[in-house]
Amino acid sequence: MERHATVTVNVAALPADVYELLTDVERLPEWNHCIEALVEKPSAFETGAQWVVRMHVPGMPRWDSRSTVRELDARTRRFVHYTQSDDGNPSFAIWTWQVDEAADGQSTVTVSWSLNPKTWGRNLIGARIRHRQLKGEVARSLAKIPATLALHHAAG
């Protein structure tokens, strides 16, 4: 059973800066509190590129998650990727990130995801738990973006 959700958050940062941060996989652990580390990075970040992160969600064992870029459009600041645990399980998620300019010149970030559990365990347990957790996790991670960008700009 697919599980869909969307979170929209206003972010006090310029849209181009937010999009650049979201698409810089090396910086994911800086603002996404559930990503412990980048395990494997792509040689170039483009459609078809893959990367692997180590996930650490409280109350769950760590796991490696492999993502593949499906769509990358800097002009519209839209980014779509397919994510699957790196353990051979056929379950997957599709993530869509959209950064728009808000009326005040800052950013509105909309993140949508579709969890697609393909095994009975992921369908009955895993996807239900992750679906409930993700709304809060995504909002908390997006809230860290302004501070992350400020630290990066201060560091030069």
d(Cα 75, Cα 100) in Å, to the nearest integer? 11
Q: How confident is the model over 106-127, as pLDDT tens digits?
A: 999 999 999 887 876 665 556 6
Question: For residues 64 and 54, is the Cβ–Cβ distance under 8 A?
Answer: yes
d(Cα 87, Cα 22) in Å, to the nearest integer? 25
CATH homologous superfamily, domain 3-33+69-155: START domain (3.30.530.20)
pLDDT at 106: 96
Question: For residues 33 and 144, is the Cβ–Cβ distance under 8 A?
Answer: yes
Q: Is pLDDT at 128 greater than 80 in this prediction?
A: no
Q: Is pLDDT at 132 greater than 80 in this prediction?
A: no
Q: How confident is the model over 25-54, as pLDDT tens digits?
A: 999 999 998 999 999 999 999 999 999 999
Q: Where are the domains of the chain?
A: 3-33+69-155
d(Cα 112, Cα 145) in Å, to the nearest integer? 17
d(Cα 51, Cα 126) in Å, to the nearest integer? 22
Average pLDDT of the chain to the nearest whole number: 90
Of the pLDDT bands very low, low, confident and very high (cuts 50, 70, 90), residue 135 is: confident
CA angle 140, 70, 68 (to 5 degrees): 70
Question: For residues 65 and 53, is the Cβ–Cβ distance under 8 A?
Answer: yes
Q: Which amino acid is at 44?
A: A
**Look-up: residue for tokens 């779509």?**
80
Q: How many CB atoms lie within 10 A of CB 77?
A: 20
pLDDT at 61: 87
Of the pLDDT bands very low, low, confident and very high (cuts 50, 70, 90), residue 17 is: very high
Tokens standing for residue 30: 């800086």
Percent of the chain with pLDDT over 90: 70
The mean pLDDT of 84-103, rounded to a whole number, is 94
Question: For residues 27 and 45, is the Cβ–Cβ distance under 8 A?
Answer: no
pLDDT at 130: 75
Helix (H) or strand (E) holding 79: strand 78-85
Question: For residues 145 and 21, is the Cβ–Cβ distance under 8 A?
Answer: yes
